[in-house]
């Protein structure tokens, strides 16, 4: 039997509550409804789930999905060993067995067939067929499925199927409003709020340009990076150029405008 405890989140992760999302998540969990967290990159989706797992005191198994991932990578497979073959559960199966929250990060990245295996787990059946093993696994009562999804990719190929979407309740995340975000970055990095407020201001300027040459604004994650660099002794201007502007754009006009914003923010 897998050790549940190793999947537990032992220390309280720092998560800045934005609205009533904690209560809503608790309600969804109580009913064991599958959850989808939507939102732009680096806005705190993963952090939220980690925090909820801690709060509910449930194990959390996170799977970062990628293009090469197949259904077997999630469900499990037979392995060869000296005595023949041995079945090894995949992370999804493990989560269903031990009653963990299974967080499939960026599910759209995975191959199409992977999304299908989660279907029976997400409706009233709450089962996972392990075809190769000939087992129909009934999910543990504590099991819950969570997927994350960034609708901002604007890519037809990376859109979830309606039949998948409609199996989840959804939380829509966005970058926190300025004051909250200032507090988040300050708390996360130990940087003073006067400085983090400036970083947030530059972030806001970039987010205002979304759809005008920027696909995504500057994420909270990047703001955390910039603050970290500044703490490490890099000058604010350099840190901002390096952590906030250069990563997000190759468009000269936008780069110029954001560089100007940096100059305008730091007198």
Ligand X SMILES: Nc1ncnc2c1ncn2[C@@H]1O[C@H](COP(=O)(O)OP(=O)(O)OP(=O)(O)O)[C@@H](O)[C@H]1O
From candidates 15, 25, 168, 225, binder to ligand X by CB under 6 A: 15
Does 53 bind another protein (CB under 8 A)? Our answer is no
- Distance, in Å, from the CA atom of 187 to the CA atom of 191, rounded to the nearest integer, reads 7
- Closest approach, Cβ 210 to ligand X, in A, equals 15
- Closest approach, Cβ 215 to another protein, in A, equals 9
Does 46 bind Mg ion (CB under 5 A)? Our answer is yes
Near ligand X by CB under 6 A, which window of 35-43, 65-73, 118-126, 139-147?
Answer: 35-43
Does 159 bind another protein (CB under 8 A)? Our answer is yes
- Closest approach, Cβ 27 to another protein, in A, equals 26
Residue 208 vs residues 43, 191, 257, 267: alpha-carbon distances, Å: 16, 25, 12, 21
Residues 69/106, Cβ–Cβ less than 8 Å: no
Cβ nearer to ligand X, comparing 201 with 221: 221
Residues near ligand X (CB under 6 A)? 14-16, 39, 41-47, 105, 150, 176, 184, 188, 220-221, 224
Residues making contact with another protein (CB under 8 A): 68, 70, 72, 77-82, 151-152, 154-157, 159, 162, 205-206, 208-209, 211-213, 253-254, 256-258, 260-261, 263-267
């Amino acid at each position: 039997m897998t050790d549940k405890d190793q999947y537990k989140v032992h220390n309280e992760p720092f998560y800045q509550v934005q609205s009533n999302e904690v209560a809503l998540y608790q309600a969804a969990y109580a009913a064991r409804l599958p959850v989808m967290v939507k939102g732009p990159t680096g806005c705190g989706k993963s952090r939220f789930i980690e925090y909820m797992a801690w709060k509910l005191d449930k194990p959390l198994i996170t799977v970062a999905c990628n293009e090469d991932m197949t259904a077997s990578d999630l469900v499990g497979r037979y392995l060869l060993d000296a005595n023949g073959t041995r079945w090894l559960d995949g992370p999804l199966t493990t989560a269903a067995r031990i009653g963990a929250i299974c967080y499939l990060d960026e599910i759209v990245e995975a191959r199409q067939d992977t999304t299908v295996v989660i279907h029976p787990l997400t409706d009233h059946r709450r089962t996972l067929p392990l075809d190769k093993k000939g087992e129909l696994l009934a999910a543990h009562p504590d099991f819950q499925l969570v997927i994350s999804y960034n609708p901002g990719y604007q890519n037809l190929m990376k859109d979830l199927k309606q039949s998948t979407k409609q199996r989840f309740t959804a939380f829509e995340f966005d970058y926190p409003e300025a004051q909250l975000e200032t507090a988040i970055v300050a708390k996360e990095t130990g940087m003073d709020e006067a400085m983090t407020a400036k970083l947030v201001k530059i972030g806001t300027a970039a987010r205002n340009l979304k759809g005008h040459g920027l696909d995504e604004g500057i994420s909270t994650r990047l703001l955390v990076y910039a603050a970290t660099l500044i703490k490490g002794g890099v000058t604010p201007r350099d840190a901002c150029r390096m952590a906030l502007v250069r990563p997000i754009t190759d468009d000269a006009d936008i780069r110029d405008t954001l560089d100007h914003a940096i100059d305008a923010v730091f007198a």
